Structures are given as structure tokens and as C-alpha cells.
Amino acid sequence: MWKKPEAETPQPESHAAPAPQPRSVPTPVESRREVAIIGASISIHGDVNGQEDLIIQGNVEGKVDLKQNNITIGKSGRVKADMYGRVISIEGEVEGNLYGGEQIIVRQSGAVRGNIVAPRVSLEDGSKFKGSIDMEPKGVEKARSQGALAPEVKGRADSSVRPGAEADASARSAAATAKPESSTARV
């Protein structure tokens, strides 16, 4: 059962051409997406637009318009602007409205003060958010008709609630309706 084979049988050599090896040089179709980075020491006052994905580590004030591309606000990123993107991921701070063609994600370290319009929205546990969220097809269609969203996005994702949010709300409600105990005692 545990014996090693005594002799391996030699395989007959084949005179066929060797199998082609995969190319290591990507073709233009296979090339990766271009990504632009606004570094931590950079400040921009004005509009940002283009045809590349964008990572913001610095400060931006104005408008960020990359409807067909992804936008990431890094942990050191500070943005005071309305943002239009395909997928917007927030790890830093944003003050302004967010319009996502596919999805908006507010990470644990992220903070948003403004309204969110996107078919899918994710607020990670620990993130900070003040504003409204519109995931309804009518709201998304209205934003798309105003040019805020890419036309290829359709449908709607189910909204999710942060784990424990219902429990927190019911605990606050129960505490508010509880009768205070009497501080006087009868003798």
C-alpha cells in the first residue's frame, strides 16, 4: 500500500509541436484600467473629470465627474464636492452628494455628509453618514435623466440595514416609554 513504484515506465516521445505558452505581454484588450491618483499633499479647487479611475488621497473642492469610472476616497482623502461615478468607495471624508451608477460603499473609516443616490448602497459597521439614501428605481432614473448616472445601470438592489440597528432602535424606544421609578418610599 505504501510502496514506491520500482520503476517508472518511460513515456513515448511525441514529435508534435509543443503547446503554445500563454503570452505575458497583455494585448490592448487585456490591458488593465488606468488609475489616476491625487496624492495626500495635493489640493484641487475646481472640477475634476476624465476617463480613468481615480483615487483621492488629498483634498478636492468642487465637482468630481467620472460617471463611467470608479472613484475611491482614501483614508487621508478630504472631499467637498458632488461626486458622479460608477462605483464610489469612501474611506476618508466627503461633504457633498454622491451619485453612483452601480454602487456606493462607505467603509468603516469613511464619513459622508450628503445625499446618496445609487441602486446599491453599502454602509459598513462603524462608518459615519448624515443625509438621505435613494435606491428606488424612480430616484435612480431621475438622477440618470439629469445626467448624473451612466445609462447602462438598471434595476435595484435590496437595501440592507446595519446589524443590530433594529435592536438599537427598539432599545431607545423602550427606554423612552419606560416609567420613572418613584424616589419616595412609604413607611
Residue 101 lies in a domain: yes
Count of the separate structural domains present in the chain? 1
Residue 117 φ/ψ, nearest 5 degrees: -125, 115
Residue 51 lies in a domain: yes
Residue 9 lies in a domain: no
pTM: 0.61
pLDDT tens-digit profile of 152-171? 444 434 444 444 444 444 44
Residue 110 lies in a domain: yes
Give dist(CA 74, CA 89) in Å, integer: 8
Residue 124 lies in a domain: yes
Give dist(CA 136, CA 103) in Å, integer: 13
Residue 148 lies in a domain: yes
Residue 56 φ/ψ, nearest 5 degrees: -110, 115
- Listing DSSP states for 91-104 in one string gives SSEEES-EEEEEEE
pLDDT tens-digit profile of 109-139? 999 999 999 999 999 999 999 999 999 866 6
Give dist(CA 18, CA 66) in Å, integer: 46
- Cα(first)–Cα(last) distance of the chain, in Å? 89
Question: Among 143, 136, 107, which Cα is nearest to 122's?
Answer: 107
Residue 186 lies in a domain: no
Task: Provide the domain limits for residue 67.
Answer: 35-155
With a pLDDT cut of 90, the percent of the chain lying above it is: 54
